[in-house]
Structure 1
Amino acid sequence: MVVSLTLIVMVASFTTIGDVEINPQQNLADALKSLGQDYPDHYVEDTDSIDIKRGYDLIHKGKAYPPDGLTSKSISKFYTCTSCHNVEREDPDLTLVDQDARLEYAMENELPYLQGSTFWGIVNRESWYNDDYVLKYGSLVEKAKESLKESIHLCATVCSQGRELEDWEMKSILSYLWTLQMKVEDLDLENKEIDHINKLAESDKDSAIAFIKSHYLTKSPATFADLPESKEKGYPFEGRPQYGKAIYELGCQHCHHAYGESDLVLDYSILTFKWLKKHMPENSKKSIYEIIRNGSYSELGHKEYMPNYTLEKMSHQQVEDLRAYIESNLK
Structure 2
Amino acid sequence: RDLVIRGITTKEGENEETKKQSKHFVCTSCHNLDREDPDLTQADPEARLSYVKEKGMPFLQGTSLYGVINRTSYYNGDYEKKYGKLVYNARNDLREAIQLCAVECAQGRRLQSWELESILAYLWTIGLQLDDLNLDQNEKDKLKNARIGEGDKTAAIEMIKSHYLQASPATFGSPPEDRKEGYDKIGNPDNGRLIYDLSCQHCHERSRYSFFNLDDATLTFKYLERHLPKYTRYSIYQVGRYGTPPLNGKRAYMPQYTLEKMSNQQMEDLRSFIEQEASGF
The TM-score, its normalising length taken from structure 1, stands at: 0.81
Aligned to 1:82: 28
**Structure 2 gap ranges (5+):** none
Q: Which residue of 1 aligns with 2:247?
A: 299
Residue in structure 2 matched with residue 168 of structure 1 by the alignment: 114
Partner residue in 1 for 2:61: 115
2:49 is matched with which residue: 81, 98, 103? 103
Q: Is the 8 A contact 1:198 1:208 kept in 2?
A: no
1:207 aligns with 2:155: yes
For 1:317, the equivalent position in structure 2 comes to 265
Quick one: which of 164, 171, 180 aligns to 1:216?
A: 164
Match of 2:73 among 119, 127, 133: 127
Residue 71 (str. 1) matches residue 11 (str. 2): no
From 211, 214, 218, give the equivalent of 1:266.
214
List per-residue Cα deviations over 1:132-170 (Å, max 9, x = no partner): 000110000011111110011001111111001111111
What secondary structure does 1:300 align onto? coil
- The Cα of 1:198 is off from its aligned counterpart by 4.4
Please tell me whether the aligned partners of residues 239 and 256 of structure 2 are also in contact (alpha carbons under 8 angstroms): yes
Question: One-letter code of the match for 1:98?
Answer: D
The residue type equivalent to 1:65 in the other structure is T
Of 15, 37, 46, which residue of structure 2 is paired with 1:91? 37
Distance in 1 between residues matched to 2:45 and 2:205, nearest whole Å: 24
What residue in structure 2 maps to residue 61 of structure 1? 6
- Check conservation: 2:207, 2:214, Cα contact below 8 A: no
Per-residue CA deviations over 1:36-92 (Å, capped at 9, x if unaligned) read xxxxxxxxxxxxxxxxxxxx1101111000133321000000111100010010001
Tell me the SS of whatever aligns to 1:256: helix
1:143 and 2:89 correspond: yes
Contact 1:112 1:254 in 2 (8 A): yes
Per the alignment, residue 184 of structure 2 pairs with 236
> How far apart, CA to CA, are the structure 2 residues paired with 1:168 and 1:199?
39
Q: Is the 8 A contact 1:231 1:289 kept in 2?
A: yes
Question: Which residue among 282, 295, 298 is the counterpart of 2:230?
Answer: 282
- The correspondence for 1:225, drawn from 149, 156, 173, is 173
- Computing the radius of gyration from Cα coordinates, the structure with the larger value is 1
Which amino acid letter does the alignment assign opposite residue 320 of structure 1?
A: E
SS of 1:85's partner is coil
2:277 maps to which residue?
Answer: 329
| Alignment root-mean-square deviation, CA | 1.3
State the alpha-carbon separation in 1 of the partners of residues 60 and 86 from structure 2.
22
- Preserved contact between residue 191 and residue 270 of structure 2 (Cα < 8 Å): yes
Residue-by-residue CA offset, 1:19-51 (whole Å, 9 max, x unaligned): xxxxxxxxxxxxxxxxxxxxxxxxxxxxxxxxx
- Which amino acid in the other structure matches residue 248 of structure 2? L
TM norm structure 2: 0.95
Identity of aligned residues (%): 48
Residue of 195, 204, 220 corresponding to 2:141? 195
Deviations 1:294-326 (A, max 9, x none): 101011221121111000000000000000100
Deviation of the 1:199 alpha carbon: 5.2
Contact 1:95–1:216 at 8 Å: present in 2 too? Answer: yes
Task: Give distance in 1, aligned partners of 2:200 and 2:151.
Answer: 51
Offset of 1:195 from its aligned partner?
1.3
Any unmatched runs of 5+ in structure 1? 1-55
How many pairs align? 276
Moved more, 242-251 or 62-71: 62-71
Q: Is the 8 A contact 1:124 1:218 kept in 2?
A: yes
Measured at CA, do residues 91 and 197 of structure 1 come closer, stay the same or move farther in structure 2, by a change above 3 Å? same
